[in-house]
Structure 1
Amino acid sequence: MSRRKKKKHNEEHVDESWLLPYADLLTLLLALFIVLFASSSVDAQKFQAISRAFNSAFAGGTGVFDFPSPIPEGQMQSTDVKGEDTKSKKEQKEAAELLKQIEQQELASIQNKVNSYIDHNNLTEKLQTSLTDEGLLVSIRDNVLFSPGSADVRTNDMKVAGEIAELLIMEPPRNIIISGHTDNVPIGNAPFDSNWELSVMRAINFMKIVLHNEKLDPSWFSAKGFGEFQPVASNDTSEGRAKNRRVEILILPRTGN
């Protein structure tokens, strides 16, 4: 009686040994899919992801659907930040271009004001204006203000210097550079050892006359002397040398370049 019951129990036992190779097969398939997935682009971040996937697969801790995104979160954020930086730089460039255009228009308006003064006083042969990338340039021939070889503004020309000062009153104010220039003929009078010194003192003395106008702030002004080293014409002719002997007023843009 007891022998029959034991035999029946053995017949109902199910052999589960086939589960072991089946589990190994699933593990290998998982590893294969991970390798195929990552083989399209190999980098340090994906290599670490593969390493973590292998560890999880063999440890049985992570399922296929629990695997992280193929694009690391940090990389996604980096891409977004890069896009925002590019957009921001583009907007800044467009804003700078717009400000530059507005400033050029304002300088052009000042130029028209100076040109009106030149035309009204018949000074077209002695004063010239030009709008450059550096700003508005007003060029004054030296014989408008100075005697040959002298750095002192002539008494009779004080009025011209005063009227030019009125033209430099602007709202809002701008920085102004006054520079002196000469031809390449060596200077022969005692007060100056070189054309360089003559050009510097002409710029400074003219600036002093301009600053007699109390509406102008001296902190806006600076003076330079270039001597013979920035000619605008050939020094081989008397006409060219006359053009090179000049004082220049450079009205700078407020926005800079």
Structure 2
Amino acid sequence: MSGHKGRRGGGHEEEHENHERWLISYADMITLLMVLFVVMFAISNVDQKKFAELSAGLSAGFGAPRFVAMDGAISPLSGAGPMIDPISVEIPPVGPPGGDSTGEVPAQEEAEKAASDLAAAQAELARLDDVEAQAQAALAAVGLQDRAGFRVTEEGLVVVLFADDVFFANGSATIQPTGERVIDTLGPVLLGAGSPVSAEGHANHLPVGAGSIYPSNWELSAARAAAVARRLVEVEGLPASTVDATGYGDARPLVPIADPASLTTNRRVDLLLRSNASPEVRALLPTLDATRS
């Protein structure tokens, strides 16, 4: 009998070593590489039409030029050839609301603004005409229609009070009785108009006489304007906050000094009924007034 005992059924054979396990890892790596290349290929094939639309939308939103690749570009992963050069598409920048890229108001809006200003100027001129008609009627009722003139400027309605000897004595700022009647007749009309009133004194080019208490036409014209403004407030009841007085001397004549009428015409006190309209509307008033003359 042999000294070595035979292996019985309860024994185990030594496990056979597997030398091909690397094939599993290799197969996994190949699979991952294939997935990687599929993903990269999918990324490289961009829908060119949608990309161009997206680029145009971004350009319109941000106001900057964009470079859009045209259809037919070669994928950088295919190696088949170079890509087609991109074409620069210039998208106009977005301008501010209500205007183009330069900030200018469109022609249609300009036309609408001009039409609106014209309508407002016509309405304001009609209001000033109504005040003038009331003033003329009031003066005519007391026989003083020739003591005042009327004209429309960019500032509003001007009532011209000619400061001759009937209104003011020579070299004096004391209002004569006839002048008081003129002011008292105009007072209720000006009060009812509800607009600020400026009394503006003017003188002719002759120097103040030696007997006057005023050293020059500046002081004389200012004193006459103040006298008229004071009566409007203290006698006629116009709010003091809406009345002011200014003296211009002989700096703003109505007619040239060579005109013989300048001695009486330029010596005056203007009552300016100020317009409350916008500057654009007021600028149209003289033109509208002239076209109907």
Q: TM-score, normalised by structure 1?
A: 0.67
Q: Match of 1:82, as an amino acid?
A: G
Question: Is residue 2:136 matched to residue 1:136?
Answer: no
Q: 1:81 to 1:181 in 2, by over 3 A?
A: closer
Partner of 1:49: 67
Q: CA deviation at 1:70?
A: 5.1
Is the CA contact (8 Å cut-off) linking 2:139 and 2:182 kept in structure 1? no
The structure in which a higher percent of residues are helix is: 1
Displacement after TM superposition at 1:96 (Å)? 2.1
Query: Would you say 1:162 and 2:184 are equivalent positions?
Result: yes
Q: Which amino acid aligns with 1:150?
A: S
What does residue 239 of structure 1 align with? 261
Secondary structure of the 1:251 match is strand
- Alpha-carbon offset, residue 68 of structure 1: 11
1:190-212 CA distance string (max 9 Å, x none): 41110111001100111001112
Query: 1:1-257 counterparts in 2 under 5 A?
Result: 46=65, 48-49=66-67, 53=69, 57=73, 60=76, 72=91, 75=93, 77-78=94-95, 81-82=98-99, 85-86=105-106, 87-143=108-164, 144-155=166-177, 157-171=179-193, 173-188=194-209, 189-213=211-235, 215-236=237-258, 239-256=261-278, 257=282
CA apart distance, 1:169: 1.4
Q: Look up the match of 1:18.
A: none
Q: Aligned partners of 2:217, 2:117: CA distance in 1, in Å?
A: 40
* SS of match in other structure, 1:168: helix
Match of 2:24 in 1: none
SS in 1 for 2:201: strand
- C-alpha distance in structure 2 between counterparts of 1:253 and 1:210, whole Å: 18
CA distance in 2, matches of 1:221, 1:181: 17
RMSD: 3.4
Shift of 1:133: 3.2
The alpha-carbon deviation at position 109 of structure 1 amounts to 0.7
- What is the distance in 2 between the residues matched to 1:195 and 1:79? 54
Give the conservation status (yes or no) of the 8 Å contact 1:108–1:131: no
When structure 1 is superposed on structure 2, of 236-245 and 198-207 the one drifting more is: 236-245
| Structure-2 change in CA distance of 1:214 and 1:228 (3 Å) | closer
Query: In structure 2, do the counterparts of structure 1 residues 156 and 106 end up closer, same or farther at CA, with 3 Å as the change threshold?
Result: closer
Unaligned runs of 5+ in 2: 1-47, 53-62, 78-85, 283-293
> Where in structure 1 are there 5+ consecutive unaligned residues?
1-29, 35-43, 62-66
User: Partner amino acid for 2:204?
Assistant: D
- The answer to whether the Cα contact below 8 Å between 1:145 and 1:157 also exists between their aligned partners in 2 is yes
The change in CA–CA distance for 1:158 and 1:136 in structure 2 (over 3 A counts) is: same
Cα offsets for 1:89-109 (capped at 9, x unmatched): 443332222111100100011
Q: Which residue identity is paired with 2:222?
A: V
Distance 1:206 1:195, change over 3 A: same
Would you say the 8 A contact 2:64–2:90 is kept in 1? no
* TM-score, reference length from structure 2: 0.59
CA distance, structure 2, for counterparts of residue 128 and residue 82 of structure 1: 46
Task: Tell me, yes or no, if the aligned pair for 1:234 and 1:241 is still in contact at 8 Å.
Answer: no
Shift of 1:239: 3.5
The alpha carbon displacement at 1:120 in A equals 2.5
Letter in 2 for 1:120: A
For the residues of structure 2 that align with 1:118 and 1:225, how far apart are their CA atoms? 25
* Of 178-187 and 90-99, the range deviating more from structure 2: 90-99
CA deviations on 1:61-107 (whole Å, 9 max, x unpaired) are 9xxxxx999563x64x4498536942444433322221111001000
Amino acid at match of 1:197: E
Separation (CA, whole Å) in 2 of partners of 1:255 and 1:80: 27
Stretch of structure 1 that moved more, 215-224 or 150-159: 150-159
* SS of residue in 1 equivalent to 2:214: coil
